[in-house]
Structure 1
């Protein structure tokens, strides 16, 4: 999948082989992370209860929001720097550890108040443990960013896969022994500890205390820090807001829905998104090439995100029944709505583009605007849902508010991209239309034609039903997207790049087969 990005922008970027290799490593890492993460989620969902997930969701949101206040974004500053020296890495390591100490104190001192506010003493011990674990977060080797600077991403595979394995092993063991929320917490702790240890093997660094380069790094990262703080509050406030009105069981279902709905899009597009900032940074001084590259990327994001979201929404019921069990079936409507919302939100790439151009102050304004739209609409939707009837309606109302906010914010981001690059709204919207139409046709077929027919036979194997729906969705989407492309006059777009990609792939395999055949004839 990430390789398609390279094909889509190869004509506008140099160092193509580096991007290809980097994207391939990230794609491989993401594939393993998806499988491991899915296995972990399914196992823990069977061993634990929705209430366990709800408690950890509240504690995790508190830690994330407090952590965002002290976020320094030093890794991005090192990537963007033209020539970082040893003292820049020493400064980053020192600042990260100062931040970790401050963050640990903030989480620890807030723990009693949070537990009291939510009326659950279990939150006190959870937050105190998280505060202790936060102390080690600043110890990671700062030289890991050197791989990203040089578009070398093989270490992402090693780190991502190994830390996930460590986390799931510890989490499952604790879940089997204690069968409570500590499995989620200890699993997360194991992941963090393993990553820190592995970072020094992959990117050796001798820690030194120093602040000589703090002005250079913070001059870039200060507005990015503010942006990430607002962004974290925006996206992690949901459990804090909803947790005050609904029981942990319903909150756990919402938290699981948010995670599952975002997983296919987040992990599927991750290999692409992770290469964008360093790749855009390399051509930031050539606006013509940068604009062309951005439109190619946006087209590819839409081409992938929309069918992933629509398809997952359509098969949510049999998927949840098979993978999570009947206890999680009330979460199906939440998953369906959130998958569609997240797919739409993935159709633009403002953040890596703005970071590459050094527009971190503009990013702060954008995040401030986003949170001022999203949270009031989420709260308004939750209140309206509560008036309609109960906790489930409260959650669905909040999701409806998220959907309205997504529509407004994505449109606004496209306007900001136009101001920043000169790319018109018409060009940005045009790349969405064909994937949107093809995804809508696929969703209609699966949700309103196949789903009622296949799911009415309760004796049919649920796995077979799920496989048939997925295959039908893939065939429908591919057919519709290329039909729409043909009717549009076969423009030079992401569809064309995909055709070229598979054509090159076919040539590669044919050459290797011929080579093997000649070698066999020679023997």
Structure 2
């Protein structure tokens, strides 16, 4: 029962964290949606798409591996930090190189300088102390709460203040940039040990060897989450992209966030009991039932009261997002089911299963995506996400059964 109590204590802290951070996100969205246009949010969305893609493509999986690794991980911290710094610089350089091509691809000249500005963020984030991963590994979610909450507060405060003053989409990137600087600074005060510029190639090979499936899974998950954004931006333009992304954010705030709270806590807990498959099965079923108990009512509220939610949160100029919000509410429910299994697969070191599930989802969504967008606009993109999420569920259930039977997968 010890780990179960730790899990629900952690869930309480993480629920408080996600509630407070998403509350700040809603506040930022509510205020800036009345200042900025859907097209401005679309331009910002393009910059974030480019930033996110490069971050995922170069993901090493070090943090996940450090949580999975039994015993102390202090000897890996300095090497992890050097890798993180080099990765951050690489991402920044790559973004600067591809920025003109991405602006041209989306036919959005206004996005070029914003993408270049966003390129600064990875170089800063690369200097974050990797020791903060110990908050999750040691189930110290109270520390995780204060650390993340303060960073979100900095981001939100600067973005809102600059948005009011400048009425520009640059305010959103400024918030991220200043928050990244702040995160680096406080990571060295709240987490020990502090890293040094030491590099051990043997440790790098060991970590990256185990982390490669996490990299692949992260890349496929990013594409699954954003290939619809890319298609909407390319086919329909920045205005519809802004509408669609806001509908996606509103739909995922209450739905996926519930799952994220549980998944972030259950991953280290599942890792500790991964050898006892019967206990692992009971814990997983119990957690998944609780997730669905929260997620399904939220999804139904968003589906039946989409117009009212949009009017309250975003205002009249965002009513074009109502149809997409209804469809994405259904997607959120389906995705929360598969997401609940991801932390379990990672805990038993079956990263390749997560990669497979996500790949099935991407292919199933990508095939009908363009025809559906051409026929139904941003609502069609939502239909494609439902198809992708539903297609991955049989793969999830099949591999869950094999894990619980302790069979090779």
TM (norm. structure 1) is: 0.74
Please say if residues 280 and 290 of structure 1, whose CA atoms lie closer than 8 Å, have aligned partners that are also in contact: yes
- 1:206 is matched with which residue? 194
1:44–1:175 CA contact under 8 A, matched in 2: yes
SS at match of 1:47: coil
In structure 1, the residue matched to 2:291 is: 301
Counterpart for residue 258 of structure 2 = 268
Give the C-alpha shift of residue 122 in structure 1. 1.7
Aligned position for 2:325: 335
Q: Could you say which residue in structure 2 is the equivalent of 1:453?
A: none
Separation (CA, whole Å) in 2 of partners of 1:342 and 1:307: 12
The question of whether the paired residues in 2 share the 8 Å contact of 1:89 and 1:143 is answered with: yes
Asked if 1:235 is matched to 2:225, the reply is yes
Matched, 1:133 2:140: no
* Higher radius of gyration, 1 or 2: 1
- Deviation string 1:86-118 (CA, Å, 9 cap, x unpaired) is 331111111111111111111110001112222
Q: Which residue pairs with 1:492 in the alignment?
A: none
Q: What does residue range 403-482 of structure 1 map to in structure 2 within 5 Å?
A: 403-422=386-405
Deviation for aligned residue 1:362:
2.8
Aligned partner of residue 15 in structure 1, secondary structure: helix
Matching of residue 317 in structure 1 with residue 328 in structure 2:
no
Displacement of 1:360? 1.5
Distance (Å, rounded) in 1 between the aligned partners of 2:242 and 2:90: 29
CA contact (8 A) 2:129 2:188 kept: yes
Partner of 2:34, secondary structure, is: helix
Instruction: State the shift of 1:206 in Å.
Output: 2.9
Equivalent in the alignment of 2:82: 94
Contact 1:21/1:152 (8 A) holds in 2: no
For 1:35, the equivalent position in structure 2 comes to 23
The answer as to 2:348 corresponding to 1:350 is no
Of 378, 385, 391, which aligns to 1:395? Answer: 378
* Paired residue secondary structure (2:197): coil
In the TM superposition, what is the alpha-carbon distance from 1:374 to its structure 2 partner?
1.9
Match of 2:165 in 1: 177
Deviation per CA, 1:175-221: give whole Å up to 9, x if none. Answer: 11210211111122222222222222210443322332213322221
Report the equivalent of 1:245. Answer: 235
**What is the CA RMSD across the aligned residues, in angstroms?**
1.7
Q: Partners in 2 of 1:271 and 1:233 — Cα distance?
A: 22
Deviation at 1:260, TM superposition (A): 0.7
1:362 and 2:353 matched? yes
| C-alpha distance after superposition, 1:126-173 (max 9, x if no partner) | 111111221111111111111211111012211222112111111112
* TM-score normalised by length of structure 2: 0.94
Between the aligned partners of 2:310 and 2:96, the Cα distance in structure 1 is 36
Q: How far apart are residue 19 of structure 1 and its match?
A: 2.4
The 3 A distance-change label for structure 1 pair 363 and 324 is closer
Partners in 2 of 1:105 and 1:265 — Cα distance?
Answer: 35
Unaligned runs of 5+ in 2: none
d(CA) in 1 for partners of 2:32 and 2:346? Answer: 37
Shift of 1:120: 2.2
How far did residue 420 of structure 1 move?
Answer: 2.5
* Contact map agreement 1:88 1:217 (CA 8 A) in 2: no
| Higher RCO by CA contacts (8 Å cutoff, separation 6 or greater) | 2
One of 84, 93, 111 as aligned partner of 1:123: 111
SS in 2 for 1:285: coil
Deviation string, structure 1 residues 477-515 (Cα, Å, up to 9, x no partner): xxxxxxxxxxxxxxxxxxxxxxxxxxxxxxxxxxxxxxx
Partner of 2:141: 153
Contact 1:306-1:344 at 8 Å conserved across structures: no
Q: Is the 8 A contact 1:90 1:207 kept in 2?
A: yes
Contact preservation (8 Å) 2:258, 2:291: no
CA distance in 2, matches of 1:333, 1:241: 18
**After superposition, where does 1:55-134 map in structure 2 within 5 Å?**
55-134=43-122
What displacement does 1:411 show? 2.7
Gaps of 5+ in 1: 1-12, 386-392, 424-523
Of 44-53 and 354-363, the range deviating more from structure 2:
354-363
* Whole-angstrom CA distance in 1 between matches of 2:21 and 2:55: 24
- When residues 85 and 401 of structure 1 are mapped into structure 2, their CA distance, relative to the original with a 3 A threshold, is closer
| 1:283-342 residue CA offsets vs partner (Å, 9 max, x unmatched) | 000011111111111211221111111112222212221222111111111111101211
1:54 to 32, 42, 45: 42
Instruction: Measure, in 2, the Cα distance between the counterparts of 1:44 and 1:34.
Output: 15
Conserved? CA contact 1:22–1:153, under 8 Å:
yes
1:20 is displaced (CA, Å) by 3.3
CA distance in 2 between counterparts of 1:395 and 1:320 reads 15
User: 1:237 deviation in Å?
Assistant: 2.1
Question: Aligned partners of 1:70, 1:320: CA distance in 2, in Å?
Answer: 36
Secondary structure at the aligned position of 2:337 is classed as coil
What is the alpha-carbon distance in structure 1 between the residues aligned to residue 362 and residue 387 of structure 2? Answer: 13
Give, in angstroms, the shift of residue 419 of structure 1. Answer: 2.5
